[in-house]
Amino acid sequence: MPSIEVIQRGAGRAADGTPDAASSALLALLGFSATATPRTRDGALGDALVAVAEALGLPLPSSLVACASVVLADRGHLRIGHVVPDATTARAVAESVRASGGRLVVMADATQRDESPAEALRAELGAASEVDVMGVVSLGEAVDRLFDLESRATAGTIVPAERREAARRALFDRTIHASRAALDWPVVAAIAVGLTRHVPEDDVLAQLELELVRDVALRHAGGSLPIPWPEDELLEGRTHEDRLTILAHIVQAAADGAWEPVPEYVRRARQVVGVDRGPGALRLMGAMGRALAAVGDFDDASRLLDDAIEGWVALNDPGESSHALCERLRVAGILGRRDEVVELRARAAERLIPAFSTDSLQYAALAVGRALAQVGAFAEAMSALSTDALGAHARDEVRAGALRWMAFAARGAGDLARAGEAIAALEGLGETDQLLLARLDAGPLDAAARRATVRALIEGTPEARRLAMRVAPGVSAAALAERPAALRRLRAEYRY
């Protein structure tokens, strides 16, 4: 049965037509080239899929006949590039697929939040259609479904024997130095597991490297397990900068979830950093500051984060300060220090934010808006949270946080209509942690509703569980719901 698969925009090529970071890096870390020619297939996603297939020696499914970008237009109509003319309906697309006997993979506009592209296509085609429409959310998922990539990787069969050593080295280097958004992390973790199966038992360094790759990849993919402090063998023989970068990953993992080792990790990291203020040291200092903030040591965290920010400015690389700045703003907002928030915002606008990447800009805008809301600068917060960086193209976690704090600020400013609009938009993103927090922000809830909301938040979110254990240790969710001071801290200190 033919099918149309709906893929988010951004999965195949960058705006300038070059292969995007995810697809290029997936090949590069395995030691392959991403320059394969797409032959007869059209569209950005087709280039990426064909490159993966040719580089890895995998058969491209014969049912895949074309690829394109698609944007939903006037209710059920499509604008499709590279395959059929503009304003062609989904039914005509289905006919072209049916006639070729193949499968059309479509990369859809991810901003259609009110009705997913897959659902809209199903509705247009009708229940009697022979074309199966499947929703797919990323290039990684498309590759996995077409090539069974993740299971091949885990089994250790995706990298040919002659390439395994080079792939292992490239995988380690790219993982340690990549940004969170740069790779398909579940696949990276699977490749690390697969390569481990082929490492000799006496090759301790290779085993340690692949274990670290696996753990870092799983953290980037949303996991919160601790990463052990590294064995000496992992650090020996590396440059000072690489040692610092490895330690930054390990300290950040503690900040993201396993809070117990934070004091010891930070103590040991301070000894390594010393007076160094190079890039690796600044990354590690930023991770230390975020870890200390996670366990509530806000004053020490602030000092480290300030030093990291100023260090990046001194190195004439302010774009690298984004993580430290966002956390510093969060801490100032939690502590209610309005003067600090105002000063940080002004400094950031002048010296830091102009150098931020598009991805960093959305987190910075959220951090500024949240901090302003928490110190009672409600009008300024509403303005900051209305920027284009926090629009429909923002990450869901950022968008949800921005809407929660918009509702908070609007309510504080007495603009109940604006608060209602923000809550309605937040509800449109589903039953998120931020929606539960927004309900607690709005109050007052009756006792039963408050207990149910707190229970749902704590049971459904590891971040909330860890934070609850810190603000009210040994207290059940039901009891926490009856402690206003602890609830205020939970709402104020939650990550976004």
Q: What is the pLDDT along the chain (496 residues), one digit of tens a residue?
A: 334 444 433 333 333 333 344 445 555 555 554 333 333 333 445 555 555 565 555 665 544 444 443 433 333 333 333 333 333 445 555 565 555 544 455 544 444 444 455 565 566 666 655 655 656 555 555 666 666 666 666 666 667 777 778 878 888 888 888 766 566 677 788 888 888 888 888 888 888 988 888 888 888 877 767 788 888 888 888 888 889 999 998 998 888 876 788 889 999 999 999 888 989 999 999 999 999 998 889 999 999 999 999 999 999 999 999 999 999 999 999 999 999 999 999 999 888 988 988 888 999 999 999 999 999 999 999 999 999 889 877 888 899 999 999 999 999 999 999 999 999 999 988 889 999 999 999 988 888 999 999 999 998 888 888 888 888 888 888 999 999 999 999 999 998 8
Phi and psi, residue 107, nearest 5°: -100, 110
Q: What is the DSSP letter of 444?
A: P
4 φ, ψ (degrees, to nearest 5): -115, 125
* Rounded (10°) CA dihedral 383, 384, 389, 392: -50
Q: How far apart are CA 55 and CA 62, in angstroms?
A: 17
Please state the length of the chain. Answer: 496
Can you tell me the distance from the alpha carbon of 133 to that of 72, in angstroms, rounded to the nearest whole number?
A: 15
Given a contact cutoff of 8 angstroms between Cβ atoms, the answer to whether 369 and 385 are in contact is yes
DSSP annotation of 181: T
Contacts of residue 406, defined as CB under 8 A and 6 or more positions apart, other chains included, come to 369, 381, 382, 385, 386, 418, 419, 422
Write down the residue that tokens 């870390």 correspond to. Answer: 29
Residue the block writes with tokens 């209305």: 386
Is the bond into 444 cis (omega within 30 degrees of 0)? yes
- Alpha-carbon span 454 to 437, nearest angstrom: 9
Contact criterion met (CB below 8 Å) for 70 and 44: no
Structure tokens at 158: 């995706």
Cβ of 128: how many Cβ atoms within 10 Å? 5
The helix or strand, by DSSP H or E, that contains position 206, with its residue range, turns out to be helix 204-220
How far apart (Å, rounded) are the C-alpha atoms in residues 249 and 176? 8
- How far apart are alpha carbons 173 and 212 in whole angstroms? 11
Q: Which amino acid is at 51?
A: A
Mention every residue, 6+ apart, whose C-beta is less than 8 A from residue 166. Answer: 31
pTM above 0.85, yes or no: no
Cα 307 versus chain centre, distance: 26
Measuring CA to CA, how many Å separate 406 from each of 242, 265, 399?
Answer: 40, 36, 10
Q: How far is CA 328 from CA 72, 145, 274, 323, 370, in A?
A: 40, 41, 21, 9, 12
Structure tokens at 380: 């300024």
Query: What sign results for the dihedral spanned by CA atoms 66, 72, 77, 81?
Result: negative
Residue with tokens 């697309």: 93
Cβ neighbours around 404 below 10 Å, total: 29
The amino acid occupying position 435 is L
Give the span between the Cα atoms of 137 and 397, in whole angstroms. 16
